[in-house]
């Protein structure tokens, strides 16, 4: 049984379609990446799955509970780790976790034992009595993970889980996420603007653009579909038609900052490519990455320095104003 299943899930804002007829199945223990440029529909998808926004049509099941008919049961089945830290920094790590347990009405003995479990899981047992304001960024992120796991959720939503962390802290968070999927069978959905993160963690990723899934599969499979080296030409215009006639050039597309070519043995043919293309400002050759896949299907890069984040916080703040 899939832990998450959407059925023709759609959302419109007046005449604008934010998401069109999404059908998706995510299995138990799977780490699933939801990728898309700003305004593509990935944020809208997450909001509806978390019962923070009503779909216009269609529905979804989370842990076999309907997001429209059984929102309370859905919310008990999920944990959310926000992009921005939301733990109280004038409380200790232990006090933050206890407060979360009280909010979920956990029995005392169960709450105490669970606090010990999640602190051990994220290596914060020795720092549990320190004020959160004394934690490093990585420690605070680990506490957020621990809090999201307190009530034994079946599904975990992670909104930009490593945004702003140093490389070492980022890798530590990756290890915890992988351990959760493997040892606790937690199904995880990640939104991220770090392509390396999606490539490293996700069993599958879905690229959403203009409200539709344009590609879905494992990172390895998606990269393999490009079928060659990637050549990026920075130029205002190139001779695309002549390039397409070269036997080793499989594809020429307009992309952010210039043009992207899919080429067999790019380094061996580079001189002829440059001669055929015409005047260019710069050239870059790389083996296919998930970023190249994203560029291929959307025609633009995902902005790591300007992420579409804070979806959960924005929805909660909006709901409290009504």
Chain position carrying tokens 């392509």: 195
- Report how far residue 184's alpha carbon sits from residue 299's, in angstroms, rounded to the nearest whole number: 38
How does pLDDT run along the chain (322 residues), one tens digit per residue?
799 999 999 999 888 888 988 999 999 999 999 998 777 777 788 889 999 999 999 999 999 999 999 999 999 999 988 777 788 999 999 999 999 999 888 898 999 999 999 999 888 999 999 999 999 988 998 899 899 888 889 999 998 888 878 888 888 889 888 988 988 889 999 988 888 999 999 999 999 888 889 999 999 999 888 888 889 999 999 999 999 999 999 999 998 889 999 999 898 999 999 999 999 999 999 888 898 888 888 876 665 433 444 444 444 344 434 3
Q: What is the pLDDT of residue 301?
A: 65
- Report how far residue 155's alpha carbon sits from residue 191's, in angstroms, rounded to the nearest whole number: 14
Predicted TM-score (pTM) of the model is 0.76
Residue 249: domain span: 228-287
Q: What is the pLDDT of residue 302?
A: 61
Q: Judge whether 100 lies within some domain.
A: yes
Domain co-membership, 53 together with 188: yes
- The CATH number assigned to the domain holding 236 equals 3.30.70.920
Q: What is the pLDDT of residue 49?
A: 94
Q: What is the pLDDT of residue 159?
A: 85
- Report how far residue 82's alpha carbon sits from residue 86's, in angstroms, rounded to the nearest whole number: 7
Domain co-membership, 207 together with 251: no
- The CATH number assigned to the domain holding 179 equals 3.40.50.300
Domain co-membership, 62 together with 184: yes
Domain co-membership, 275 together with 134: no
Domain co-membership, 211 together with 246: no
Distances (CA, A) of 264 to 118, 151, 248, 290: 49, 51, 5, 18
Domain co-membership, 48 together with 160: yes
- Report how far residue 307's alpha carbon sits from residue 322's, in angstroms, rounded to the nearest whole number: 26
* Residues contacting 56, CB < 8 A, separation 6+: 10, 11, 12
Written as one string, the DSSP assignment of 205-223 is EEEEETTEEEEEE-HHHHH
**Contact between 93 and 121 (Cβ < 8 Å):** no
Q: Judge whether 144 lies within some domain.
A: yes
Q: Judge whether 232 lies within some domain.
A: yes
């Amino acid at each position: 049984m899939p832990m998450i299943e959407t059925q023709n899930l759609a959302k419109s804002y007046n005449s604008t379609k934010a998401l069109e007829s999404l059908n998706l199945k995510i299995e138990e223990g799977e780490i699933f990446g939801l990728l898309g440029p700003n305004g593509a529909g990935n944020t809208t998808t997450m909001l509806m799955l978390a019962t923070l926004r009503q779909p216009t049509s269609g529905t979804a099941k989370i842990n076999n509970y309907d997001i429209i008919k059984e929102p309370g049961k859905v919310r008990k089945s999920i944990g959310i780790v926000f992009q921005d830290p939301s733990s109280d920094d004038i409380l200790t790590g232990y006090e933050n976790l206890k407060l979360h347990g009280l909010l979920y009405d956990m029995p005392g003995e169960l709450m105490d034992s669970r606090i010990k479990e999640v602190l051990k899981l994220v290596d914060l047992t020795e720092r549990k009595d320190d004020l959160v304001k004394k934690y490093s960024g990585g420690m605070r992120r680990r506490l957020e993970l621990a809090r999201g796991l307190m009530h034994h959720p079946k599904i975990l939503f992670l909104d930009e889980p490593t945004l702003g962390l140093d490389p070492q802290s980022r890798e530590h968070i990756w290890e915890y996420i992988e351990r959760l999927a493997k040892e606790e069978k937690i199904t995880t959905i990640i939104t991220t603007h770090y392509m390396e993160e999606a490539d490293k963690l996700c069993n599958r990723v879905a690229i959403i653009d203009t409200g539709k899934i344009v590609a879905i599969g494992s990172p390895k499979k998606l990269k393999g579909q490009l079928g060659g080296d990637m050549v990026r030409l920075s130029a205002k215009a190139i001779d695309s038609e002549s390039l397409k006639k070269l036997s080793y050039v499989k594809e020429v597309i307009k992309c952010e900052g210039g043009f992207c070519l899919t080429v067999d043995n790019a380094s061996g043919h580079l001189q002829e490519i440059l001669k055929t293309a015409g005047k260019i400002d710069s050239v870059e050759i790389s083996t296919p990455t998930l970023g190249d896949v994203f560029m291929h299907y959307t025609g633009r890069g995902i902005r790591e320095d300007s992420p579409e984040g804070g979806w959960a916080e924005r929805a909660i703040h909006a709901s409290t104003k009504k």
